[in-house]
């Protein structure tokens, strides 16, 4: 079984298309098709079901997919370890929540880039669910996510704590007024966002179970829609502080059991911790008052 073939298999599975995988891999579709066919013949199982719009990964393909990320990560770890002389360098691919990136990470990333110019740092954003999937599948090396998190393969540590608040238009004086709105909308990130789940749970507590979610991909869009009276949202207080000071939105504090959420940094327990990763975490912990305790 060739590692290159496994990488082609992963690209096809993720894209759901031989053609899109070929474009991503900078090759032709016939080459991708041939590699997949050879891999299927070697394994003696079908990895994809073909249909008019592309391909669908079979149950057999789904079972081997986690191994592809682990094998690829293991080879990358071996290369990194061989070259790692204790000075942070090389690629470091991390993930983060949109809200964390917008408010918390910018100063840290700037500081880290200046201190360690030999590190090629990449930060991608996503929901907690997406980031956890990416870390588990070894697509990224670590991520800032909202707690709690329970997974046997993950090391986690609390970096800082956020206070979540309900935000509405200024016309809403108390959350109780929302109950009378039969067409209430929530302005949220896509499914998988832990803040969205907490918002739905909080609204259910005050008697609202039929709010219709409107999904947006950026923090600015969410705050703007709330300010315009389109709907309500739940976000860290520090993130919306500027809009609140400017009088654009109303902020409603929640009970402590609803408001407080830990932001965790997670990574695979079995992954090699490079000097670049260690350097990043050594810089992040004191900035946010965190320790290096293992909650894994």
Same domain, 71 and 107: no
What confidence category does residue 73 fall into, taking pLDDT thresholds of 50, 70 and 90? confident
Burial of 132 (0-12, 13-18, 19+ CB in 10 A): buried
CA distance 223 to 241: 11
DSSP assignment string, 15-64 = HT-HHHHHHHTTS-HHHHHHHHHHHHHHHTS--EEEETTEEEE-HHHHHH
pLDDT digits (tens, 9 = 90+) for 178-227: 999 999 999 999 888 889 999 999 999 999 998 999 999 889 999 999 99
Q: Which run of H or of E encompasses 8? A: helix 3-15
pLDDT digits (tens, 9 = 90+) for 254-273: 998 899 999 999 999 999 99
Regarding predicted confidence, which is higher, 129 or 74? 129
pLDDT digits (tens, 9 = 90+) for 8-53: 999 999 999 999 999 999 999 999 999 999 999 999 999 999 888 8
Burial of 266 (0-12, 13-18, 19+ CB in 10 A): buried
Same domain, 199 and 60: no
pLDDT recorded at residue 66:
85
Instruction: Report whether pLDDT(2) > 90.
Output: no
- Residue 28's domain comprises 3-80
pLDDT recorded at residue 295:
53
The mean pLDDT value for 270-291 works out to 91
Same domain, 33 and 146: no
Same domain, 64 and 105: no
What b/e sequence results for 90-119 when a residue is b if at least 16 CB atoms lie within 10 Å of its CB, and e otherwise?
Answer: bebbbbbbbbbbbbbbeeebeebeeebeeb
Number of neighbouring beta carbons within 10 Å of residue 59 = 9
Whether 295 is in a domain gets the answer no
Instruction: Report whether pLDDT(81) > 60.
Output: yes
pLDDT recorded at residue 77:
85
Whether the bond into 239 is cis, omega within 30 of 0? no
pLDDT digits (tens, 9 = 90+) for 121-144: 999 999 999 999 999 988 899 999
Same domain, 211 and 251: yes
Whether 293 is in a domain gets the answer no
Whether 113 is in a domain gets the answer yes
pLDDT digits (tens, 9 = 90+) for 213-242: 999 988 999 999 999 999 999 999 999 999
Q: What is the CATH number of the domain that holds 124?
A: 3.40.190.10
Smallest Cα–Cα separation from 154: which of 278, 281, 269? Answer: 269
pLDDT recorded at residue 123:
96
CA distance 99 to 194: 12
Q: What domain count does the chain have? A: 3
Q: Which residue has the tokens 């007024």?
A: 177
pLDDT recorded at residue 294:
52
Same domain, 181 and 122: no
102: DSSP letter: I
């Amino acid at each position: 079984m060739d590692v290159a073939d496994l990488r082609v298999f992963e690209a096809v599975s993720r894209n759901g298309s031989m053609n899109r995988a070929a474009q991503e891999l900078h090759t032709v579709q016939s080459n991708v098709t041939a590699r997949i066919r050879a891999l299927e013949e070697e394994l003696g199982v079908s990895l994809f079901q073909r249909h008019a719009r592309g391909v669908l990964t079979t149950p057999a393909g789904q079972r081997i997919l986690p191994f592809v990320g682990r094998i690829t990560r293991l080879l990358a770890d071996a290369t990194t370890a061989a070259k790692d002389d204790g000075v942070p360098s090389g690629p470091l691919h991390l993930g983060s929540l949109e809200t964390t990136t917008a408010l918390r990470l910018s100063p840290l990333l700037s500081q880290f880039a200046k201190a360690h110019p030999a590190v090629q740092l990449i930060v991608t954003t996503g929901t907690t669910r997406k980031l956890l999937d990416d870390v588990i599948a070894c697509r990224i090396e670590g991520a800032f996510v909202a707690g709690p998190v329970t997974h046997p393969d993950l090391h986690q540590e609390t970096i800082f704590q956020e206070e979540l608040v309900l935000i509405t238009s200024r016309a809403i004086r108390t959350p109780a007024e929302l109950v009378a709105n039969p067409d209430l909308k929530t302005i949220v990130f896509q499914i998988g966002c832990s803040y969205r789940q907490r918002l739905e749970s909080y609204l259910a507590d005050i008697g609202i179970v039929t709010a219709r979610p409107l999904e947006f991909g950026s923090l600015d869009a969410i705050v703007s829609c709330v300010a315009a009276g389109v709907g309500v949202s739940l976000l860290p207080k520090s993130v919306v502080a500027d809009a609140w000071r400017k009088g654009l939105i109303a902020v409603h504090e929640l009970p402590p059991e609803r408001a407080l959420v830990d932001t965790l940094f997670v990574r695979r327990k079995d992954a090699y911790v490079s000097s670049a990763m260690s350097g990043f975490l050594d810089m992040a912990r004191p900035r946010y008052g965190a320790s290096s305790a293992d909650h894994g």
